[in-house]
Chains A and B, each alone.
Chain A
Amino acid sequence: MEKPVIATASLAGCFGCHMSLLDIDERILDLIELVDFNKSPINDIKEFARECDIGLIEGGCCLDENVHVLKDFRNHCRILVSVGECAIMGGLPAMRNGISVRECLEEAYLNGPSVRNYNENKILPNDEELPVLLNRVYPCHEVVKIDYFLPGCPPDADLLWRALTALLNNRKMDLPYEVFKFD
């Protein structure tokens, strides 16, 4: 039987959730036995080479590019999972949601103490190649259908492990309080 295929992505996240995945320690070896990784920062595969079974998404959408990646994942993954606070709720980046995009850009490029005296032409970066900021940070399920949500910041390595093995073995997830409790 072919091994199930996993893909992962970090959108507007801090990579903490990916770190947590690596935190399953030596069980990563078991995982590699169990699954193949496709598009993922872990193996640096940039484009989907095949259809995947499970997509793990860290981070919400703050740029148009995030939206494209997320939609790409939805199109290529049978099951899509929001991993961590940022993917589920927007997380820390969503703190900008109460502030207008213009104000954010001006603070970052015109008025902030580290740029105030250096941006003589008062330019807000506008190169066509740059991704475009969204009006606010969106949790993943407000952009595409998400099948499962794994909470935490980051989710406990054990939670990720249990979730993955449950999904791979097609059984209900065993979720003791300790692996998802707040702190």
Chain B
Amino acid sequence: MEESISSILDRYNHDVYRLMDILIDVQSDQGFIGDQAIARIAEDLGISKADVEQTRSFYHFFSKKPTGKYSIYLNTSVNACMMGRDAVARTFEVEAGIPFNSVTRDGLIGLFDTSCIGMSDQEPAAIINGKIFPNLTPFRVKELIRDIRAGKSMEELVVEGYGDGQNSNPDIRAVVSNNIRKIGPVLDPDYKPGEVIRKKLPAMTPQQVIDEMKRSNIRGRGGAGFPTGMKWEICRKTESDEKYIICNADEGEPGTFKDRVILTERPKLLLEGMVVAAYAIGARQGILYIRHEYKYLKIYLEKLIEGAHKRNLMGKNIAGIEGFDFDVRIQFGAGSYVCGEESALIESAEGKRGEPRDKPPFPVEKGYLDKPTVVNNVETFCSAVKVLLNGADWYRSFGTTDSTGTKVLSISGDCRYPGVYEVEWGFSVNDICGMAGADDVIAVQVGGPSGSLVGPSDFDRILCYADLSTGGSLIIFNHTRDLLQDVVLNFTSFFIEESCGSCSTCRIMPVILRNKLLKILNARGAKSDISEMLEWAAILKASRCGLGQTAANPIITSIQNFRHLYDQKVRGEVRYDSGFDLTQATQEAIAATGRYTAVD
């Protein structure tokens, strides 16, 4: 162990800001990060054991105990459940002979739950030792466990053949499908890598790049929709010796998977976008922060960065522009949705717990290593390249006045053609359902759990920043779905699981709301419970980041748009019911003391 940890520490120059990478490597080398390893790392980096421990304990894919020679992480998302997760999970448990969140006695198999892994169009899916296994069925699970027991290697476990496009690239070899259904400027397959860096940048000043971005009216694609040109300009104007570009490829919002497809099929476009942004703001270093679930893309992407260096699209004096130096490193996460929040992402990239920072200052003033930093979504960088290539006017010809350009959507759920669609802003929910081949639709979740659950009366509303804003996730539900049980409850649990715990509001209120929802689902609800949920949810606005601020959205928007579902479940004549159950509350003591009579 000692030897391997030493070489890992060497690999990252004993740099405390690379603690994430160090822990990721220790975890993958040893299968866990034990107390000994923590002590060794702490001593070497000159920080306390508690400092190492707090980073370790924050992330889902770091564990203190061995997670099994084959660590199986099965997705718990709404999509996974819709596509038959329950049967798959039971089969895993029966075949492995253990319940979830435990490891077999012989240390061979570990079974764990995990939040959405970005495979919503091919669920239920699991990650086994970093490899994705989509479209699982009980039959396939039996096969997998049998093969694992037979001592087969990870390579041999794959029997379904590799996926389309670059998924079959020797550096990826993933059983993942792209499911690209509609292409536009971002997904355009005729893209010529490096054209903008070579032909456009040398002829433009950084300010001209920013002006073009501003004229295009392009806004951030990660969800919040901040004007990108303005973001770059503020960062450019903030004085500092160093500046950073960060690409947010954390993609953790359940139902979103378009960044995975871009990373697989148009990674050069993304990298080119980062170079363009670096030129605009004057950055020399970039970080591509990718969620742990997409680690299977590591070698592929690293080689592309290498290739860019060889072709002088990165490195020194890029494209012959004197003094324009820029390099990108990849930072993987370790399983945490909140790390998609830009300031949490920065903390994480600095090797710390992914706890969002208090704002202001915003990252454009004080970001990575406290230096001005631009954080943009994958798709934002890609679109930026096309803005420069074809001009702002061309770009503005797509979409609506307030929302220019196109949006790459991740569509999943009850439809014939789940997958990735690049559409102009301004499509209605109805258009989308039609495109995706969904004809029995009772509800659509627009923008993931933090967005809204809308019903048929809203289906002619359009996707744009002014109306139904979305980071790209759309999940479609048909009449067989119990929206409260299958959707709202699952999403609420997701937020509870993923809260970083800093704010008492975000730590506590979603739990209280879930208890109330469960009470209603268990037919104990009273009318006052519905109004109390709405009243109490308001306190979440006091939370520090978007996670807490939107954690009640599944409940709020479903009450607003599907009030009848709640009204059906509460007992109309009862105005108030605390939900207290005396029989249940006394069971334990009666059992312990051996009393037989139940109390009334």
Chain A CB within 8 A of B578 CB: yes
A103's nearest neighbour on chain B, judged by CB, is B592
Contact A132 B595 (CB under 8 A): yes
Contact A124 B587 (CB under 8 A): no
CB within 8 Å of B: which of A55-71?
Answer: 64, 67
Chain B CB within 8 A of A144 CB: yes
Residues of A within 8 A of B593 (CB): 105, 124-126, 132
CB within 8 Å of A: which of B549-600?
Answer: 576, 578-580, 582, 584-595, 597, 599
Interface SS of B by simple majority:
helix
In the bound complex, how far is the Cα of B585 from the Cα of A105, in angstroms? 16
Contact-residue bracket for chain A: 20 to 34
In the bound complex, how far is the Cα of B588 from the Cα of A64, in angstroms? 12
In the bound complex, how far is the Cα of B595 from the Cα of A105, in angstroms? 14
Chain B CB within 8 A of A141 CB: yes
Identify which of B582, B590, B591, B592 contacts A67 (C-beta below 8 A). B582
Residues of A within 8 A of B589 (CB): 101, 105, 132-135
A128 to chain B, nearest CB (A): 6
Residues of B within 8 A of A136 (CB): 585
Chain B CB within 8 A of A50 CB: no
Total count of chain B residues near the partner, CB < 8 A: 19
Contact B595 A128 (CB under 8 A): yes
Chain B CB within 8 A of A138 CB: yes
Identify which of A101, A142, A144 contacts B592 (C-beta below 8 A). A101
B310 to chain A, nearest CB (A): 59
Residues of B within 8 A of A43 (CB): none
Residues of B within 8 A of A125 (CB): 593
In the bound complex, how far is the Cα of B589 from the Cα of A64, in angstroms? 11
Contact B580 A142 (CB under 8 A): yes
In the bound complex, how far is the Cα of B578 from the Cα of A136, in angstroms? 16
B83 to chain A, nearest CB (A): 37
B598's nearest neighbour on chain A, judged by CB, is A132
Interface hub of A105, A124, A132 (most chain B Cβ within 10 A): A132
Chain B CB within 8 A of A102 CB: yes
> Measuring CB to CB, which residues of chain A are less than 8 angstroms from any residue of chain B?
64, 67, 100-102, 105, 124-126, 128, 132-136, 138, 141-145
> Measuring CB to CB, which residues of chain B are less than 8 angstroms from any residue of chain A?
576, 578-580, 582, 584-595, 597, 599
Q: 8 closest pairs, A vs B, by CB?
A: A102-B592, A126-B593, A133-B589, A101-B588, A134-B585, A124-B593, A143-B580, A145-B576
Q: A64-B586, A133-B586, A142-B580 given. 16 additional CB < 8 A pairs?
A: A64-B585, A64-B599, A101-B588, A101-B589, A101-B592, A105-B589, A124-B593, A126-B595, A133-B589, A134-B586, A135-B584, A135-B588, A141-B578, A142-B579, A145-B576, A145-B578
Please name 25 pairs of A and B residues whose Cβ atoms are closer than 8 Å in the assembled complex, sorted by A: A64-B599, A67-B580, A67-B582, A67-B585, A101-B588, A105-B589, A105-B592, A105-B593, A124-B593, A126-B594, A132-B590, A132-B599, A133-B586, A133-B588, A134-B589, A135-B585, A135-B586, A138-B580, A138-B585, A141-B578, A142-B579, A143-B578, A143-B580, A144-B578, A145-B578
